[in-house]
Chains A and B, each alone.
Chain A
Amino acid sequence: EAGVAQSPRYKIIEKRQSVAFWCNPISGHATLYWYQQILGQGPKLLIQFQNNGVVDDSQLPKDRFSAERLKGVDSTLKIQPAKLEDSAVYLCASSDAPGPGADNSPLHFGNGTRLTVT
């Protein structure tokens, strides 16, 4: 089974620039998550999709962050404009369960995109 694919692996931008991250979940997984992990902290949920609908975006800074999953498969997360505090690893995860708590349907994480904002 192919894992969750993310690109790019690394990205360095200047503050106020824009950046986009791409995620392709495991085939057949309806639920997709974007997490932000700042160095030394645990991952923080930004947005959860169920197919192409948003389930939870309560912690997404909507003035600068946007995400879409138009066809219910791959997803893009965008930051515009970036701030220094956006420097973090952006993790995409997928699951075949509608929520994160099913014992037999854990979250599968991609390798993440490490963003550095200078």
Chain B
Amino acid sequence: QKEVEQNSGPLSVPEGAIASLNCTYSDRVSQSFFWYRQYSGKSPELIMSIYSNGDKEDGRFTAQLNKASQYVSLLIRDSQPSDSATYLCAVISTAAGNKLTFGGGTRVLVKP
């Protein structure tokens, strides 16, 4: 079982719709959760971090965390073509030596 799992996609959404991305993790004691965006040929950039159960909103992005079910999700509202990228879920577990472990990423395509 992979430590951090994501559907590779592509997730195709029409412009203006909501894109919903999911991520599951295997280590129950994971404490910190991040979403990175990576445009093709570019480096990852942090867009959201979340540490406690519930929702966290930042502009058009909402991160949702459910530690009991071991999943974290990212919602992108009013999707724009510029949101087309690969979204990487990353998790830190102190039990794993405080290492930032990335999932394989979900590719999102927003069609005008």
Q: Could you tell me which A residues sit within 8 Å of B by CB distance?
A: 40-45, 48, 56, 58, 91, 99-101, 103, 106-107, 109-112
**Closest approach, in angstroms, between the C-beta of A71 and any C-beta of chain B?**
24
* Cα–Cα, bound, A45→B44 (Å): 14
Q: How far is the CA of A91 from the CA of B98 in the complex (A)?
A: 19
Query: What's the Cα separation between A109 and B42 when bound, in Å?
Result: 9
- Counting residue pairs across A and B whose Cβ atoms lie within 8 Å, the total is 48
Cα A98 to Cα B43 in complex, Å, equals: 21
A111: B residues at CB distance < 8 A: 42-43
Q: B64-106 toward A: CB 8 Å interface, digit per residue (1/0)? A: 0000000000000000000000001010100001111111110
12 contacts between A and B (CB under 8 A): A40-B8, A40-B104, A56-B97, A58-B97, A91-B44, A100-B92, A100-B100, A101-B31, A101-B32, A101-B98, A106-B46, A109-B44
Are B103 and A42 in touch, CB under 8 angstroms? Answer: yes
B88 cross-chain contacts in A, Cβ below 8 A:
42-43
A58 to B97: give the CA distance in the assembly, Å. 10
User: In this complex, which of A56, A99, A110, A112 has the most chain B Cβ atoms within 10 angstroms of its Cβ?
Assistant: A99
Most buried by A among B8, B44, B45, B98: B44
Distance in angstroms between the alpha carbons of A106 and B46 in the assembled complex: 7
Chain B residues in 8 Å Cβ range of A106: 46, 49
CB distance from A104 to the nearest CB of B (A): 10
Q: Which of A45, A107, A109, A112 contacts B99 (CB 8 A)?
A: A45
Q: Residue B44 contacts which of A43, A44, A56 (CB distance < 8 angstroms)?
A: A43
CA distance A110 to B105 in the complex (A): 19
Alpha-carbon distance between A48 and B44 when the two chains are bound, in angstroms: 17
Q: Given contacts A42-B4, A42-B88, A42-B105, is CB(A101)–CB(B46) below 8 Å?
A: no
Please name 8 further chain A to chain B contacts, defined as beta carbons within 8 Å, in addition to the given A42-B103, A56-B99, A106-B46, sorted by A numbering.
A44-B102, A56-B97, A91-B43, A100-B92, A101-B100, A106-B49, A107-B100, A110-B43
